[in-house]
Structure 1
Amino acid sequence: MKNILFKNTITALTLFVTLIGFAQNKSSNTVSLDVYYSKIQAEKNPQIIDARGPEEFALNHINGAVNFNLESKDYEQQLAKLDKTKPVFTYSIGAGRSVWLADDLLKKGFKEAYSLEGGIANWIGNGKPFYANSKSKLTLAEYNKIIVENKDVLVDIGSVYCGACKKVKPVLETIKAQYGTNLKIVEIDLEDNPQFIADLKIIKVFPTLILYKNGKIIFKKEGTADLKKQVDLALAQN
């Protein structure tokens, strides 16, 4: 019995140390948009990897990026095309798959690998150059008109491929059921509105929620934490 407990303890400690090590690598490999962009600008032919799925990449991506990730069937062949002596820049919808990829590149002997904090949301959301296969359904002028013509407006900006964004939807339904037509709810996805998100220039991560009252921003937050509570408090202050 003692031997079993001892082995379980050792296993747990090993797992904990492994997770700590990964977290440290994750932190050191993830850089801000300013650092990421400046490093790319310093390269003549930057090696940029989109670590999302092919369907996501086809809709929008950073100019000059190639698409593959850890689950790609030709992963090793794709890696062989890269120069290990030069920096590699990875990104995904946020900073999940891109962090894993950057970590794997370093383990395989690449000199430098950087993951973009906030992912494609941060890049497009701050107006950096990108490719999109369709025009936005919503323009900045139309958006501003919605804000002006409605007293209270709650805006949800995200992506259909974003796991965290999906958690916002049931919260929005609860808010919608409570306030009805007294609160205008606008849901904006990257896939339908890439240029609009770029023109807005205030998005750093998905999802981002913005509440307007009489044309002014009451709060701008990332994620669903306390969203319902914050909306209730803000709307109670007429």
Structure 2
Amino acid sequence: MKNKILKNSITTLLLLFSIAVFSQGKSANLLLDAFYSKIKNQKTLQIIDARGPDEFALNHIEGAVNFNLKSEDYEKQVAALNPSQPVFIYSIAAYRSGLLSTDLAKRGFSEVYILEGGIASWIGGGKPFYSNLKSKLSLAEYKKILASNNYVLVDIGSKYCATCKTVKPILESIRSQYGEKLKIIEIELEESPQVIADLKTVKVFPTLILYENNKIVFKKDGLGDLKNDVDVVLASK
């Protein structure tokens, strides 16, 4: 009798657990190629840019709508979505898109996908995008700078990227130490999106690349220990 009661209790708990799990949708991070492939297969596209309106106005994935958890019309925007169809979300990094995807999954959206690396990965991977400005720096000018200097350090990021802001004082320290020996280029998404797209090498912000005689010495996806890595290469030169 006790075994039967125990078995029934376990069955009930498993049923309740299943209901709790399947009443919520699933959320997953996807790399660019997988994210792009899924988007291309959608008849009706639901893609959300979870950045701020100022960021969205400068550049975004074509077809995207713009809102996040802090938007005044959030409930209205969510109500306009079809919860039974996949939803695709991106921002700069994972924070805003992650919060939004978690909320949508809790609301029962069947599939929610986040673009790993956000808008940096999309534009940096050469995918089509909208921009309301012409790039300040062209790829031809970029290559000319590399060809004209023995050492070039490239900082690629966005003024809206929190981690990118921490790079600036480090760059100033490196600039003070090495002077004319090292050319430093700072490329921001808000000023030169097309050259970022043309490079087809950016996956996240910040991306830092050190060139020696027009060849890449290192490429860093993220800040890491930038000062030390530059010192290792240049201190003995």
TM-score tier by shorter-chain length is 0.7 to 0.9
TM-score (norm 1): 0.87
Aligned partners of 2:44 and 2:236: how far apart in 1?
53
Aligned with 2:100: secondary structure?
helix
Q: Give 5+ residue unaligned stretches, structure 2.
A: 1-23
Change (3 A) 1:117 1:211: same
CA contact 1:168–1:223 (8 Å) conserved in 2: no
Q: Secondary structure at the match of 1:167?
A: helix
Aligned partner of 1:151 in structure 2 is 150
Aligned residue identity for 1:168: V
Which digits, 9 at most, give the CA deviation of each residue in 1:45-70, with x for residues without a partner? 21000000000000000010000000
Whichever residue aligns with residue 49 of structure 1, its letter is: I
- Counterpart residue number, 2:102: 103
Structure 1 partner of 2:9: none
User: How many equivalent residue pairs?
Assistant: 213
> Which is higher, the Rg of structure 1 or of structure 2?
2
1:128-174 CA distances to partner (integer Å, 9 max, x unpaired)?
11000001011111000000000000000000000000000010010
- Give the Cα–Cα distance (whole angstroms) in 1 for the partners of residues 43 and 108 of structure 2: 22
**Where do residues 1-238 of structure 1 align in structure 2 (5 Å cutoff)?**
29-238=28-237
What is the distance in 2 between the residues matched to 1:184 and 1:147? 9
1:114 aligned partner, one-letter code: Y
Give the counterpart letter for 1:154 in structure 2. Answer: L
**Counterpart of 1:114 in 2: which secondary structure?**
strand
Deviation of residue 34 (structure 1)?
A: 1.1
Distance of 1:126 and 1:237 partners within structure 2:
35
Looking at structure 1, the residues matched to 65 and 236 of structure 2 have their Cα atoms a distance apart, in angstroms, of 49
Distance 1:204 1:237 in 2: 31
The answer to whether the Cα contact below 8 Å between 1:159 and 1:189 also exists between their aligned partners in 2 is yes
**Which AA in structure 1 matches 2:193?**
P
Displacement, 1:237? 4.9
CA distance 1:68–1:93, shift in 2 (3 Å): same
Deviant stretches of 4+, over 6 Å: none
Alpha-carbon distance between aligned partners in 2 of 1:163 and 1:204, rounded to the nearest angstrom? 16
C-alpha separation between the residues in 2 aligned to 1:145 and 1:105?
Answer: 47
Contact 2:27 2:114 in 1 (8 A): no
Task: Tell me which residue corresponds to 2:16.
Answer: none
- Displacement of 1:226: 1.2
* CA contact 2:27–2:101 (8 Å) conserved in 1: no
TM-score normalised by structure 2 residue count: 0.88
Offset of 1:236 from its aligned partner?
3.2
Distance 1:45 1:171 in 2: 45
How many angstroms does 1:28 deviate by? 5.5
Equivalent residue, structure 1, for 2:19: none
1:4-62 Cα distance to aligned partner (Å, 9 max, x none): xxxxxxxxxxxxxxxxxxxxx9x962111111111101101210000000000000000
Partner secondary structure for residue 177 of structure 1: helix
- Looking at structure 2, the residues matched to 150 and 38 of structure 1 have their Cα atoms a distance apart, in angstroms, of 39
Equivalent residue of 2:186, what SS? strand
Between the aligned partners of 2:100 and 2:169, the Cα distance in structure 1 is 32
- In 2, Cα distance between equivalents of 1:44 and 1:132: 24
CA contact (8 A) 2:139 2:199 kept: yes
